[in-house]
Structure 1
Amino acid sequence: MQSTLIGTTRPLVALINNFYAFDTFNRKYGVLTDDGTYQVPASWQAGLSNGANVGQMIGLLINGWASERFGYRKTVMTCLVLIIGFIAIFFTAPNVETLLVGEILCGIPWGVFQTLSITYASEVCPIALRGYLTTYVNMCWGLGQLIAIGVIRSMLNRTDEWAYRIPYALQWMWPVPLLIGVAFAPESPWWLVRRERFEDAKKALLRLTSLSRETDFNADETIAMMVHTTALEKKITKGASYLDCFKGTDLRRTEIICMAWAMQNLAGNSFSNYSTYFLTGAGVSEENSYSFALGQYAINMVGVFGAWGLMSLGIGRRSLYLYGLCGLTVMLLIMGFLGLVPDSHRVESGLATGSLMIVWALVYQLTVGTVCYSLVAEISTRRLQIKTVVLGRNAYIIVGIICSIVTPYMINPSAWDWGNFAGFFWAGLAFLCAVYTFFRVPEPHGRTFAELDLLFERKVSARKFASTKVDVFEEGVDEGVFKAKVEAKYEEKAFQ
């Protein structure tokens, strides 16, 4: 349920950037140019996009405090109510300044959804399903983008103000049913354990467990494991503030999470988003370019299912990340070499580049784009998970802002005019990302959170994570961390 928040709010994020091709939108919010057409100035285009990013960064920081204090459900429900109100700003905006206010305000709940859905998913599912449910978030991103492009394409023939108002109005159909669904969803048992609400944690755990068939599941034993893991993390992690994310073994975990997310942009993601640009340059019509974009986002969703298939074969997150980066590097190099094609074959070069970007997107979604969500959800400690994931997502946004500023200059004929040669630049960065992954990114597949805590505490090399054996009950914890009577009750039941 909470992962679906990503997909249902993503259309609103994608709408603004695609509205710049709408004549009615440009007439309302743009200015008259020398060639007699209306365009939203480049400065305002950058301002609107970065306004959303600023709002998301604020929302990410708020989420690190609010979700841990008030719980995941209450935080999400509050943000959904805010979204309902903020959509009205877009629908009624009289000028571009009002649109900017809407972007910043909507960015705040968007930032909350981006990280809270991942952490909630990692805490409510069993280990065997953890990789699938956390990476499902990425499919929701693709679904949201697909919906946005589809709605925009259906409005291409309209010439009135409803060409851009209808897409905005359609966003109101998502928050209400989601609000109802989240209201009936259970709270995270891990969060309840951290708040010492053990009975409530057990009730939530039973709601998340199917008892319709015979299983070996024991709720008291699972709660005892959660208590033990939380106590162990309290021993390892002295506090639970943002500053603690940069202390001791948590510094290494924060670094990996930040880099895992930053590498999504550093590996050429912003460059690959210009497939329609190269196709248009090759003579493909705007309408067909939108159709091409629809196919690209559909392939992104298929890539998530492909990643599930690869993980079901036992291929680890680290391996998928590493091999994926190597494959992306090779394809970016090929794109760069296409820049050597003579101008007489410009059409063929543009079609080849656009098509290769589609293949790049598929490989990206099979590996880096999807697996990242699983990595960031598994590597952090439970006590600091929200905050480390928030820091990682902020790293993603900051790198994304830089890339979104630099990339247009690289490929624009009126600027640096690198064209396809920009592929060499991104190939170099993707190669460095592959080197970093080989030496620094560990394999969390099949590990409990307590096992991961011990592996990081013992400073096990990333390349040896998968083969190192650990016994979490060999590690003693401070029995006074929680209320002694409550903890003893659950540990006694579990280990009699």
Structure 2
Amino acid sequence: MTVKATRNPGHSQLEAVLPETTWWKSPQLRRLNFCILSLIFFSSSNGFDGSLVNGLQSLDSWMDFMGQPTGTWLGFINGIYSVGALVSTIIAAWCSNKFGRKPCVWIGIIFILAGSILGAAAPNDTIYIVSRVLVGMSGGFITNAPPLLLNEIAYPAHRSISSCLFMIGYYVGSVISSWVTFQTRTYSSSWSWRLPTLLQMLCPLIAIPGFLLTPESPRWLVSRDRVEDARKVLAELHANGDLTAPLVTYEVQEIREAIAAEKESDASSSYSDMVKTPGNRRRLLITVTLGIFSQWSGNGVVSYYLAMVLDTVGVTATKDQLLISGCLQIWNLIFGTIGALLVERAGRRPLFLTSAGVMLVSYIIITGLSGSFASTGSAPIGTAVIPFIFIYFAGYDIALTPLLVAYPTEIWPFTLRSRGLSVAWLSAIGALIFNTFVNPVALSALGWRYYFVFVAILICYALTSYFFYPETKGYTLENMALIFDGHDRTVNDSEKAGSSGDGGEKVPGTNEVERV
């Protein structure tokens, strides 16, 4: 059943204390956006890897080095990255809650530096596989802590768009990877694949200066009873250092009340709490299905095995395959950014539903054209598949790219936020592991007929997003419980927290949260 819209009184309170300013005129917002841009760059390593192995499959030197991988061996080379990410994702959720968001990011940086250097210097295929495990281990840390930190420091009016832009960094990595591989294809030495492998650490390295300026999450600080430290962070980032600004007072009060209410209701950060209440069970359904659809909607075939897909429609030249891959990544970057910028204007549900419709129609056409090429061998029919691959990815990019991280991050309460995001990644990585092992085998055995599986999954995606994904536009992180847990319960919890003697402040010029 679809969700009815819920009135959000907290939104009007926030508007009352937000100063009228534009980010480019405000020194603290320019600094904040520089920090957020740096956090976005951390998602690039996943995108770099997704495009890297795809491009390396078009290079004879890499294929010879790895023993001409096909089928299960090729799936293992791709999938071992996801195995490393799967393990580290579980650890990262605990680390983010225990030690804070920033230490986890540093752990991820160390892993990716070690993995990139080891891969570029690998003397044999065994060492290369070990390097992919290390790079995969970085993935759990730099895809869990950075988006949490980004959401929790973002300027309230910019939070949704900033959060959705996190995964755009994925395509920044993809673009760099695909075009570096295109450029090195003419190298006669093994540096044709060693250089792209080494450059996997490029974007995380670029992000370090901005990350050094990024403070710890104020919400994590409040959870550790470091309220004054949190106040200083919020004042520095959102109010030019003014500790008494109405916006800072409002944010501190809202964060303290939300975290106190979670403690009042005996909420913890255990995975078992995700199934204890109807609201959390619904959050879990959304989180798991979104992770699965992000990888099982057909994109995994093209992301990791574009060369094989193009082979099935007669596009076999190395230059042509790499050129198409490079242009596709730029296309993805453009439409992913468009989706992120539309998230507040259009809303989450319209983006999900538009995405499902565009992907389904284009995938049906891709399947039909591929089948026709298989029976006729007509070059024009094979070439016609290419523009529909681009149309398909436009549909994917406007919703599943920006909202894969942003949607789960915003719907979970603070105590479960890191674990909720980890569940999203675990679902996505689990689906990705299945894809990377099964897709090359299925493509080799079934060819274009394998596409029918993803047509069915896209139908499921459309139905699930229509019936179960609520609209969250206009809600702060703390007020998201209005949608999932009910308005009256949220108000009562907030009132308990405010009267529990914790020194909660009243925000000047705003009214109490009204009952509906």
- Short-chain TM bin: 0.7 to 0.9
1:19 corresponds to 2:60: no
Q: CA deviation at 1:449?
A: 2.6
The equivalent position to 2:475 in structure 1, one of 447, 453, 478, is: 447
The equivalent position to 2:230 in structure 1, one of 201, 214, 239, is: 201
Matches of 1:481 and 1:409 in 2, distance apart?
A: 61
Change (3 A) 1:481 1:24: farther
1:488 corresponds to 2:516: no
Amino acid at match of 1:451: N
- Judge which range, 337-346 or 388-397, deviates more: 337-346
Matches of 1:210 and 1:22 in 2, distance apart?
A: 52
Partners of 1:26 and 1:40 within 8 A in 2: yes
Partners of 1:254 and 1:380 within 8 A in 2: no
- For 1:259, what is the secondary structure of its paired residue? helix
1:262 corresponds to 2:278: no
Aligned pairs (5 A) from 1:203-282:
203-211=232-240, 217-236=246-265, 238-248=267-277, 249-273=279-303, 276-280=307-311, 281-282=313-314
Q: What's the counterpart of residue 427 of structure 2?
A: 395
Residues 92-124 of structure 1: per-residue CA shift (max 9 Å, x gap): 222211112211122112111112222222211
Partners of 1:142 and 1:301 within 8 A in 2: yes
Residues 354-409 of structure 1: per-residue CA shift (max 9 Å, x gap): 22111111121122332333211211111110001101111111112223333334
Q: CA deviation at 1:480?
A: 9.7
Matches of 1:476 and 1:286 in 2, distance apart?
A: 61
Matches of 2:464 and 2:404 in 1, distance apart?
A: 14
The equivalent position to 2:452 in structure 1, one of 424, 430, 444, is: 424
Change (3 A) 1:92 1:476: closer
- For 1:238, what is the secondary structure of its paired residue? coil
Q: What's the counterpart of residue 41 of structure 2?
A: 4
The equivalent position to 1:324 in structure 2, one of 347, 355, 374, is: 355
- Judge which range, 273-282 or 179-188, deviates more: 273-282
Partners of 1:245 and 1:387 within 8 A in 2: no
Q: What's the counterpart of residue 34 of structure 1?
A: none
- Judge which range, 146-155 or 8-17, deviates more: 8-17
- For 1:488, what is the secondary structure of its paired residue? coil
Partners of 2:358 and 2:391 within 8 A in 1: no
Which 4+ residue blocks in structure 1 deviate beyond 6 angstroms? 492-496
Give the count of matched residue pairs: 469
Q: Which has the higher contact order (CA 8 A, sep 6+)?
A: 2
Percentage of matched positions with identical amino acids: 20
The equivalent position to 1:334 in structure 2, one of 365, 373, 376, is: 365
Change (3 A) 1:480 1:443: closer
Change (3 A) 1:330 1:177: closer
Residues 267-306 of structure 1: per-residue CA shift (max 9 Å, x gap): 2212444555444432452202211111101010110232
Aligned pairs (5 A) from 1:66-465:
66-211=95-240, 217-236=246-265, 238-248=267-277, 249-273=279-303, 276-280=307-311, 281-283=313-315, 285-312=317-344, 314-339=345-370, 341=372, 343-344=375-376, 346-412=378-444, 415-417=445-447, 419=448, 421-458=449-486
Amino acid at match of 1:253: R
Matches of 1:317 and 1:113 in 2, distance apart?
A: 25
Q: CA deviation at 1:47?
A: 2.1
Gaps in structure 1 of 5+ consecutive residues? 31-38, 459-468
Partners of 2:357 and 2:462 within 8 A in 1: yes
Change (3 A) 1:345 1:177: closer
Change (3 A) 1:407 1:85: closer
Q: CA deviation at 1:207?
A: 2.2
Change (3 A) 1:475 1:245: closer
- For 1:185, what is the secondary structure of its paired residue? coil
CA RMSD after TM alignment:
2.8
Matches of 1:488 and 1:185 in 2, distance apart?
A: 28
Change (3 A) 1:275 1:353: farther
Change (3 A) 1:178 1:331: closer
Partners of 2:295 and 2:431 within 8 A in 1: yes
